[in-house]
A and B are shown apart, each in its own frame.
Chain A
């Protein structure tokens, strides 16, 4: 290692040699940086999983536009949309179809399992093929039958044998708000932070499960533009139909971007993870600064001696930066490994999409090195105390 660094730096790797001379301090500093890296990666992983899981249902939607209440920034919050938007939209030239979309939440105690919280989507079976991905739309005919439902095959916390039976024989019974429904098929979306899985039912079944919901006030209205039409001009015509302060027109991408923004930046959960990441950076900065400035103070007489002989500040700064880079890299490697293991454990346990992305690793590595360099430069300010005239 010393040999490699010597070739790399073109000088005696003094910073490295000093670090390994105090093995205990070096070890705990590395541990501290590693911990900070794990913390940051962990929080970023959560934010990534959060935004990833938010995207999952959107990826199944095939609508061109989604009409929502003016304050609706996620699928589930905000004012409902008047159902008459469906007819208004259909009156616009170039619009092929429009359909109301209802959302409810129900908890079901799975046999031999825990309580699972389901997000229930109420849809018109006849427009399912227009507005939803094929694996969901294929069940349109069977959803027409009263009290049938399809369920997310990736639902979290459900015993595998419970889902395996679905779609193979008789409908698997399930109780939603006291209403028995039969599960007739599975599709794949994946669990989110606030629900364990998704269930699709027809609007008719939906209002049996949620009698308190108003059929005249769907959560959103989906709109599909006829093939070959210009999306932009149709959108303008559509927006001209109603007061923009009462109804939002967004593409699916825009709606998704809004929701990701809300969940990862504005919602408490996103703020907590973001704060955790900031804490990690802060902890890392403080540890590295502490270690490096102690290193400088401990060697101040030696540095003053070198200063007397004619070494310049640049040399000393490069030693501190050398130490900063070593701490950064030696902390990053175990920190990133630990985080990767934790990602695997968490996504295994929760079904959340916690994946260690190459770009995230690279960014955190760069961030670690920049933060270490920053701390190092701060610590290097102490070198000014090296006063060679005081040595004699």
Chain B
């Protein structure tokens, strides 16, 4: 099966000299295409740090890492941008542009990608917002949306360009149970339909239960890697 992410002996430290604190220790991880993975662990265990390295938002320091077939060791800024354009980002804060409507915000996720995809932003955006239960909020600006609605717009923005990997950090924190479920279901549907990989950092037990695989971190180390039985069967089939 094709590998989306692979790391060997990944170490990471903040600061230098006496202030140096290592926050990731020997992380070995293999994630295949189409997996929907939850990353959990105590606060400060290094989940976000790992996510930002794999998402090419931080430079590598030590160890090996491949993302979408590209080597992150010594990757140039240009290569990092190239990889990031194939990723979807869902942040804890929605970071929507207050001057833009929901649809225009979603469009920004597509603007980068030329050609046909860009030309069809309107239909694609409306469709995606509809799937997220926002069909009647398409032309609303963020200030007229609830926190959960804004987060769903941010999800649509992350997914509009059909990313190969979605990185999400606490995506359901602002969502009620139902919208949270819709978002995770959507990621799972994408995994099945397009082989989209998702790496979701969360404390939300409902999300944990929906994942095909759950990784647990503790003090900078991966300490558990459990595969849900249901998805086991799927993978075997």
A312 touches B81 (CB 8 A): yes
B104 touches A12 (CB 8 A): yes
For B, the interface residue count at a CB cutoff of 8 angstroms equals 29
Q: How far is the CB of B66 from chain A (nearest CB, A)?
A: 19
Q: Which residues of the other chain, A, contact B141 by a CB distance below 8 angstroms?
A: 21
B58 touches A20 (CB 8 A): no
Can you list 10 pairs linking A and B with CB atoms under 8 Å apart? A12-B108, A17-B100, A17-B104, A18-B97, A309-B85, A309-B87, A312-B81, A388-B57, A389-B52, A392-B48
- Given the contacts A305-B89, A309-B89, A310-B84, A11 and B99 also touching, CB distance less than 8 Å: no
B57 touches A389 (CB 8 A): yes
Q: Which residues of the other chain, B, contact A391 by a CB distance below 8 angstroms?
A: 57, 89, 91, 93, 95
Q: Which residues of the other chain, A, contact B98 by a CB distance below 8 angstroms?
A: 21
With beta carbons under 8 angstroms apart, the residue of A11, A12, A302 that contacts B95 is: A302
Q: Which residues of the other chain, B, contact A14 by a CB distance below 8 angstroms?
A: 97, 99-100, 108
Considering only CB atoms, which chain A residue lies closest to B112 in the complex? A310
A311 part of interface (Cβ distance < 8 Å)? yes
B132 part of interface (Cβ distance < 8 Å)? no
The interface centre, meaning the residue of B48, B97, B111 with most chain A CB atoms within 10 A of its CB, is B97
Q: How far is the CB of B81 from chain A (nearest CB, A)?
A: 5
Cα–Cα, bound, A301→B58 (Å): 17
Q: How far is the CB of A64 from chain B (nearest CB, A)?
A: 67
Proximity string of chain B (53-74) to chain A, C-beta cutoff 8 Å, 1 when within and 0 when not: 0010110000000000000000
Proximity string of chain B (91-120) to chain A, C-beta cutoff 8 Å, 1 when within and 0 when not: 111011111100010011101100000000
Cα–Cα, bound, A244→B203 (Å): 95
Cα–Cα, bound, A389→B80 (Å): 13
B85 touches A301 (CB 8 A): no
Q: Which residues of the other chain, B, contact A310 by a CB distance below 8 angstroms?
A: 81-82, 84-85, 112
B5 part of interface (Cβ distance < 8 Å)? no
With beta carbons under 8 angstroms apart, the residue of B81, B108, B169 that contacts A392 is: B169
B51 part of interface (Cβ distance < 8 Å)? yes
Q: Which residues of the other chain, A, contact B96 by a CB distance below 8 angstroms?
A: 302
Q: Which residues of the other chain, A, contact B107 by a CB distance below 8 angstroms?
A: 12
Known A308-B84, A309-B89; further 15 A-B contacts with Cβ < 8 A: A12-B107, A12-B108, A12-B111, A14-B99, A18-B99, A301-B93, A302-B95, A302-B96, A308-B57, A389-B57, A391-B57, A391-B89, A392-B51, A392-B92, A392-B169
Cα–Cα, bound, A308→B84 (Å): 7
Proximity string of chain A (1-28) to chain B, C-beta cutoff 8 Å, 1 when within and 0 when not: 0000000000110100110110000000
B93 touches A309 (CB 8 A): no
Considering only CB atoms, which chain B residue lies closest to A312 in the complex? B81
The secondary structure that dominates the A interface is helix
Q: How far is the CB of A389 from chain B (nearest CB, A)?
A: 4
Q: How far is the CB of A385 from chain B (nearest CB, A)?
A: 15
Cα–Cα, bound, A306→B52 (Å): 15
* CB within 8 Å of B: which A207-233 residues: none
A305 touches B99 (CB 8 A): no
Size band of the interface chain A makes with B: 20 to 34
Q: How far is the CB of A291 from chain B (nearest CB, A)?
A: 15
The 8 closest A-B CB pairs, nearest first, are A21-B99, A310-B85, A389-B57, A305-B95, A18-B99, A17-B99, A392-B169, A310-B84
A304 part of interface (Cβ distance < 8 Å)? yes
Interface residues of B (CB under 8 A from A): 48, 51-52, 55, 57-58, 81-82, 84-85, 87, 89, 91-93, 95-100, 104, 107-109, 111-112, 141, 169
Considering only CB atoms, which chain A residue lies closest to B141 in the complex? A21
Q: Which residues of the other chain, B, contact A309 by a CB distance below 8 angstroms?
A: 84-85, 87, 89, 108-109, 112
The interface centre, meaning the residue of B84, B98, B99 with most chain A CB atoms within 10 A of its CB, is B99
A299 part of interface (Cβ distance < 8 Å)? yes
Q: How far is the CB of B151 from chain A (nearest CB, A)?
A: 13
Q: Which residues of the other chain, B, contact A18 by a CB distance below 8 angstroms?
A: 97, 99
Cα–Cα, bound, A391→B168 (Å): 11
B52 touches A20 (CB 8 A): no
Considering only CB atoms, which chain A residue lies closest to B82 in the complex? A310
Q: How far is the CB of B135 from chain A (nearest CB, A)?
A: 21
Q: Which residues of the other chain, A, contact B87 by a CB distance below 8 angstroms?
A: 309
Cα–Cα, bound, A304→B139 (Å): 24
B57 touches A299 (CB 8 A): no
Cα–Cα, bound, A348→B84 (Å): 65
A302 touches B89 (CB 8 A): no
Considering only CB atoms, which chain A residue lies closest to B84 in the complex? A310
A311 touches B112 (CB 8 A): yes
Considering only CB atoms, which chain B residue lies closest to A304 in the complex? B95
Considering only CB atoms, which chain A residue lies closest to B100 in the complex? A17
Cα–Cα, bound, A11→B107 (Å): 10
Cα–Cα, bound, A21→B108 (Å): 17
Cα–Cα, bound, A166→B52 (Å): 90
Cα–Cα, bound, A310→B108 (Å): 11
